[in-house]
Structure 1
Amino acid sequence: MTQEELTKEMLDGELYEAHVSHPHKLRFYSKSPDPNYECDGCKLPADTNSYLRCPYENCSFYLHRVCYKFRPSPSPSWHKFFPQCGFTLYDGITAEVADQSGDFPYPYCDACGEDIKGFRYRCTPYDDSDHPPGKHDLHPTCLRGDADATIENRGVPLKLKDKVKSKCVECKKRYPAEECIGFTGWKWVSEDRDYWGFPYCFTGTKLCYHLKCMNEILRKQMK
């Protein structure tokens, strides 16, 4: 699939070619009539108002738009928060990757901290000398999200940042997964002190949300 095809807008109600993970063509919906679906690619809940679904009534197969569009490719992908890494998509069908999860039942996403149970991107270091220990794994929706985007929550503008140690105002925790102490993950942060509110404006603690917590907030807003 070419870059032009990847970025091309999809038309509401149109049928598109079958994905490698499913034998049937899939219909695109720009507005989700079913906010409770789970993506059969990355195994995460709905996180967007658009998705693809199998048109057959007895076949409840769903894919996030980003999971449908991004296929295994010999050319690595990259993310600005991991400049030493080239990421390859593994879908478990055309390409598999051995888990390196240690004591955990599943590998976790180095962006949101949630378990990876389906499609994943795994890194290959560009330069071993500068690469941190271990391999990085990312959900397709985390890697392909717009890292330069600004979102609003309760009227507060937030930017996606890495290595922010402030506690999340939603879950009141510093780390998105308590068993991964030291792993801060990505956070949506307000850099403007005017929006930090009391007592954050005095303590210098940035108003922020874990990517995982913000995903949960957005999912609730869809329902």
Structure 2
Amino acid sequence: MKYKEITHLSHPHVLVLESAEEPYQCDGCKEVGFGPCFKCETCNFNLHEECAMPEPSAFHHFFRKCDFRFYENAPGYRARYCDACGKDVRGFVYQCLHEKAHDLHPCCMKLQRTLIGDGVKLHLSDKVSTRCLKCGSKEISKGFRGWSYESSCGQYCYHVACVKNLVLENWRRGYFDHGHNTMALQIMAPNEDNIVQQTGGSSSGRRKASKYWRMAKVALTLIISAIFGDPTTAVATLIASLLSS
């Protein structure tokens, strides 16, 4: 059953499910969101669907020995970070019961295991074998890989953290406010040199390169949709131009 209106302990007014036309910051987990959200029509208060209706307890297949509990604020006094994306935990969170507890943002907890679209199949992984097409590395930071979506063929891989950063930085630079097409970031492609060398610049080589970028764009679109929700027109325009250099 899909709820259209809810009440939430963190807010005094009724929250209505709407499709946000612009990016918003979730007042639960403090992460960015797009698409459907529960919004207060009286004041500027928004919640991801995952934050608005969390499960009291949860399980994740990457942590088979962990029993997660939902908290509006992580227990303890030290700073926490999400084991999926590496970003700080600043609000709603799922935390396991172990002494050295794992933490997951609600939206990261709910990430789909498999994404399929337009000839691309991606799997959520915590142990990737391919470099991320954005940062060019297997690790987000030294000693921390985080989660990635990787294609079945192994050619297309993006860190969840890198995709979050890509959209967030463009938002902060005003892309969504002004609708301009000047990209703040570039998408790296470690395999591009191999494609050029193997094809020698032939017409068939150009077709292979074109297909490579098209599939990378499809992969990126699927991942942005999985992380942030259904793309708005502004997000779709951003995706369309990310790989068009």
TM-score if structure 2 supplies the norm length? Answer: 0.63
Provide the alpha-carbon RMSD of the alignment: 2.3
Classify 1:43/1:85 alpha carbon distance in 2 versus 1 (closer, same or farther; 3 Å).
Answer: same
Determine the structure 2 residue equivalent to 1:110.
Answer: 83
Determine the structure 1 residue equivalent to 2:178.
Answer: none
Give, in whole Å, the separation in 2 of the partners of 1:32 and 1:151. Answer: 24
Q: Percent identity?
A: 35
Match among 99, 102, 106 for residue 136 of structure 1 = 102
Contact 1:188 1:214 in 2 (8 A): no
CA displacement at 1:155 relative to structure 2: 5.5
Match among 141, 164, 176 for residue 128 of structure 2 = 164
Determine the structure 1 residue equivalent to 2:208.
Answer: none
Determine the structure 2 residue equivalent to 1:119.
Answer: 92
Gap runs ≥5 in structure 1: 1-7, 102-106, 126-132, 197-206
Classify 1:115/1:151 alpha carbon distance in 2 versus 1 (closer, same or farther; 3 Å).
Answer: farther
Determine the structure 1 residue equivalent to 2:138.
Answer: 174
Q: How many residues align?
A: 172
Give, in whole Å, the separation in 2 of the partners of 1:15 and 1:68. Answer: 10
Determine the structure 2 residue equivalent to 1:5.
Answer: none
Determine the structure 2 residue equivalent to 1:62.
Answer: 46
Contact 1:165 1:184 in 2 (8 A): no
Classify 1:213/1:111 alpha carbon distance in 2 versus 1 (closer, same or farther; 3 Å).
Answer: same
More helix by share: 2
The 5-angstrom pairing of residues 1-223 of structure 1 reads 8-10=1-3, 14-16=4-6, 18-29=7-18, 31-33=19-21, 35-46=22-33, 48-56=34-42, 59-70=43-54, 73=56, 76-92=57-73, 97-101=75-79, 107-125=80-98, 134-147=100-113, 149-152=114-117, 156-176=120-140, 178=141, 181-192=142-153, 196=155, 207-215=156-164, 216=167, 218=224, 222=232, 223=234
CA displacement at 1:99 relative to structure 2: 3.7
Determine the structure 2 residue equivalent to 1:130.
Answer: none
1:22-74 CA-to-partner distances (Å, cap 9, x unmatched) read: 11110111x322x221000000011x411010011xx1000001100115x3x
TM-score if structure 1 supplies the norm length? Answer: 0.69
Determine the structure 1 residue equivalent to 2:240.
Answer: none
Contact 1:85 1:124 in 2 (8 A): yes
1:95-130 CA-to-partner distances (Å, cap 9, x unmatched) read: x511433xxxxx2100111111111111114xxxxx
Contact 1:186 1:210 in 2 (8 A): yes
